[in-house]
């Protein structure tokens, strides 16, 4: 069946539907990387967005549930140049079409993703609608669309604990849309992790006497989470070691009085280069965000830990008056995982 992507600027892309039926309206963003589409699809930081994959062939290694970052789909819609109908991988448990249909994800193939990506690069984040009938799109409603309340939608509703085999530390994880890989990296380092809903009071978290606190990544504009920012402020003043990741990095900066700005189209993909300011070494990271900490707003109580190689934007902070640091990236090659070791070292020195 034919389907269309209609952008708020009037541009229409014709494609072929696969996955679930129905219409969907959301922000249209692009993400780069040859692999990692399963992690992208199950990443809650893509909540409320139609994701465009820049790599032309998606689905060639199938659907592999053990690689999922969560139990649910993050994006509102999905667009590819071509999807592979016959995946080849011994771990595969199905193809994208069947998987999308079962979980209700609306998708389009056959779209000129190169041309679409160039539009997003030129205009910034743009709203769009996947539909069967482009003539009936309400452009006023499309232009007025905005995301809100995504953190509450993706956060756990009840706290739970994931124990470590050989417990060394107890870590509290404030869930703003966390990834399984964050929990896995902590438990493999001897941390039993208690995951808390985003609206948990700081007093409840501190009453459990954690050795450290992690602020997870998640979707949306960090400044919209006033109560969550207030909670993070209290946690940051407790003296408990704190580690912020992605959205958690931004929330911690806001809680400490620094400012957040918006990039035109953000950093999204598995191949974002960042420079470690202390060593000068460049690491390739996975990211999905539009908002960044404005370095001009920093004072003497914080210093830039990482910067983006392409645009010089802040990719991490170290706080000098509290035991805390944060990074904007949320994944990547194994050599970026030393940030978890740094968090362990911080807890050991408490």
DSSP result, 254-268: HHTT--EEEEEEEEE
As to burial, measured by CB atoms within 10 angstroms (0-12 exposed, 13-18 middle, 19+ buried), residue 142 is middle
Of 5, 30, 33, 26, residue with least CA distance to 118? 30
Can you give the pLDDT at residue 331?
60
Which domains does the chain show, CATH number per domain? 2-147 (3.50.30.20), 151-348 (3.40.50.880)
Residue pointed to by tokens 């706080």: 319
The verdict on pTM exceeding 0.75 is yes
Tell me what pLDDT residue 148 has.
Answer: 82
In this prediction, residue 270 carries a pLDDT of 86
pLDDT at 350: 80
Q: How many CB atoms lie within 10 A of CB 98?
A: 13
Is 23 in contact with 131 (CB distance < 8 Å)? yes
What pLDDT sits at residue 147? 82
- Per-residue confidence (pLDDT) for residue 333, from 0 to 100: 58
**Positions of the chain with pLDDT lower than 50, given as ranges:** none
Query: Which pLDDT score, from 0 to 100, does residue 334 have?
Result: 67
Helix (H) or strand (E) holding 2: strand 2-7
Two tokens, residue 44: 């809650």
């Amino acid at each position: 069946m034919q389907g269309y992507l209609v952008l708020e600027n009037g541009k229409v892309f014709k494609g072929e539907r696969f996955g679930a039926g129905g219409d969907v309206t959301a922000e249209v963003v692009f993400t780069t990387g040859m692999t990692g589409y399963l992690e992208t699809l199950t990443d809650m930081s893509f909540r409320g967005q139609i994701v465009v994959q820049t790599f032309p062939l998606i689905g060639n290694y199938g659907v592999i549930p053990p690689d999922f970052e969560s139990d649910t789909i993050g994006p509102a819609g999905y667009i590819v140049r071509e999807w592979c109908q016959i995946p080849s991988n011994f771990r595969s448990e199905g193809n994208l079409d069947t998987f999308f249909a079962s979980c209700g994800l609306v998708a389009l193939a056959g779209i000129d993703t190169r041309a679409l990506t160039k539009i997003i690069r030129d205009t910034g984040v743009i709203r769009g609608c996947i539909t069967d009938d482009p003539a009936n799109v309400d452009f006023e409603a499309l232009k007025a669309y905005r995301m809100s309340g995504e953190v509450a939608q993706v956060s756990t509703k009840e706290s739970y604990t994931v124990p470590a085999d050989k417990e060394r530390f107890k870590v509290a994880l404030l869930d703003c849309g966390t990834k399984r890989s964050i929990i896995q990296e902590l438990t493999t380092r001897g941390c039993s992790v208690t995951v808390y809903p985003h609206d948990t009071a700081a007093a409840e978290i501190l009453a459990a006497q954690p050795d450290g606190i992690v602020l997870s990544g998640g979707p949306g504009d960090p400044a919209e989470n006033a109560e969550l920012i207030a909670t993070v402020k209290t946690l940051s003043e407790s003296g408990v070691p704190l580690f912020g990741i992605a959205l958690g990095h931004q929330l911690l900066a806001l809680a400490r009085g620094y400012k957040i700005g918006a990039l035109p189209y953000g950093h999204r993909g598995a191949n974002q280069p960042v420079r470690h300011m202390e060593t000068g070494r460049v690491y390739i990271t996975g990211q999905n965000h539009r908002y960044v900490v404005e370095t001009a707003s920093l004072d003497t109580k914080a210093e830039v830990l990482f910067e983006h190689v392409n645009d010089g934007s802040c990719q991490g902070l170290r706080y000098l008056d509290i035991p805390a640091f944060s990074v904007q990236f949320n994944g990547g090659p194994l050599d970026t995982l030393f940030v978890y070791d740094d968090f362990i070292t911080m807890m050991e020195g408490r």
